[in-house]
Amino acid sequence: MRKAPSGDDEPLDGDIGPAAGAATRTAPGTAAAPAVSEAAEAAQALRRFDAEREERRRATNAVAGRIAVAVAALFLAFLIYDSAATAVRAHSRGDAWIYPPAVVGGACAAGLAALLTWGWRRRRLGM
């Protein structure tokens, strides 16, 4: 059971740490630590929270970017495969195979090469 507070700010039974007035009393030869206001502590906690949230946001965006690049690369690879298959079928039938399918496949291959080069350079630079 707790005792009623006394006038000399002695710790109560079960209290952890110094009494409320103990911060003003210091041992001889030691300097008192500068008091940090609650507002400053709250502002520092908010800055730390904002920095942690920004770090989590950047990590999440990095993962989402990698997934988007992988999906785009897979899509371009599928279009290259489909264009090549269409070009081979058209060539075997004697139809025009260079203009529609081969050109589309070449454009997709160039896009895939550009995407992979961009991703490789970005990863190498640590962005």
Residue 97 lies in a domain: yes
pLDDT digits (tens, 9 = 90+) for 36-68: 788 899 999 999 999 999 999 999 999 999 999
Q: Tell me if 32 sits within 8 A of 26, measured CB to CB.
A: yes
Confidence tier at 31 by pLDDT (50, 70, 90): low
Residue 85 lies in a domain: yes
* More confident of the two residues 67 and 16: 67
Range of the domain at 56: 36-125
Residue 48 lies in a domain: yes
Residue 41 lies in a domain: yes
Helix (H, G, I), strand (E, B) or coil at 126: coil
Alpha-carbon span 90 to 101, nearest angstrom: 9
Alpha-carbon span 117 to 109, nearest angstrom: 12
Structure tokens at 56: 């989590």
- Torsion on CA atoms 51, 52, 55, 60, rounded to nearest 10: -140
Alpha-carbon span 91 to 44, nearest angstrom: 70
- The identity of residue 46, as a single letter, is L
- Burial class of residue 83 (count of CB atoms within 10 Å of its CB; 0-12, 13-18, 19+): buried
Structure tokens at 34: 């500068």
**pLDDT value at position 126?**
74
Residue 1 lies in a domain: no
pTM, entire model: 0.62
Number of domains forming the structure of the chain: 1
